[in-house]
Chain A
Amino acid sequence: KQEVTQIPAALSVPEGENLVLNCSFTDSAIYNLQWFRQDPGKGLTSLLLIQSSQREQTSGRLNASLDKSSGRSTLYIAASQPGDSATYLCAALRRGGGNKLTFGTGTQLKVEL
């Protein structure tokens, strides 16, 4: 059974800082891994998707990496801004598991002025 963990649970940083969010998964038979952002009371916004055959994906100030062998993914946010404040979730899609995502516990990020 896939289990996904995110560390830290909460993070507070000053504006402009570069930061790394961590995601660990127990079952390496993943097809892809997605990172999402969730604002309070809202739905999920897809940030990045990494296929199991890829090592990295980049979008603007965001960079996500994937290491299947160690069961880890990281989301790197460069030059953080107050608008980046949100909860970040990673989700693993198991190979052959249809479209069922297993979500991590989330990291609540606050970027302060």
Chain B
Amino acid sequence: KAGVTQTPRYLIKTRGQQVTLSCSPISGHRSVSWYQQTPGQGLQFLFEYFSETQRNKGNFPGRFSGRQFSNSRSEMNVSTLELGDSALYLCASSSGDQAEAFFGQGTRLTVV
């Protein structure tokens, strides 16, 4: 059974650009959550999508957005990149509501 797949693994972008990250959950899982991990702030929740609807949202600016497709794959978009957006972005897949979370390997974003 395939795990959670995040692409790409590494990205280098310039300030002001935008970026799209992708997450394919475990087959049959309906929930995808996104987290940002930085050395200073630790792991912080960005948002959760469940059956194509955003169900929870963390305390991040509107530059961070996401969506989920009918096959449960999810994308996260960050517009007008800032240096502080450099982080490891992790997505988690859950089979249903209040279920165990399984994480992907993450996308390492570096903004220069």
10 contacts between A and B (CB under 8 A): A42-B105, A42-B106, A91-B43, A93-B98, A98-B56, A98-B98, A99-B48, A103-B43, A103-B44, A104-B42
The number of chain B residues touching the other chain, given as a range, is 20 to 34
- Chain B 91-112 interface mask (CB, 8 Å, partner A; 1/0): 0101001111111111010000
Tell yes or no: A34 within 8 A of B by CB: yes
Q: Nearest chain B CB to A42's CB is how many angstroms away?
A: 6
Chain B residues packing against A (C-beta within 8 Å)? 4, 6, 31, 33, 35, 42-45, 48, 50, 55-56, 58, 88, 90, 92, 94, 97-106, 108
Count A-side interface residues using an 8 Å CB cutoff: 25
Is A28 on the interface with B (CB-CB < 8 A)?
no
CB distance from B105 to the nearest CB of A (A): 4
Q: A41-B88, A41-B108, A42-B105 are in contact. Are A101 and B45 (CB under 8 A)?
A: yes
**A89 an interface residue at 8 Å Cβ cutoff?**
yes
Chain B binding surface SS class:
strand
**Neighbouring A residues of B97 by C-beta, 8 Å:** 98-99
Given contacts A98-B48, A99-B50, whether A34 and B108 have CB atoms under 8 Å apart is no
Q: Does A81 contact B (CB under 8 A)?
A: no
A residues engaging B (CB < 8 A)? 31-32, 34, 36, 41-46, 49, 89, 91, 93, 95, 97-106
Q: How far is the CB of B31 from chain A (nearest CB, A)?
A: 5
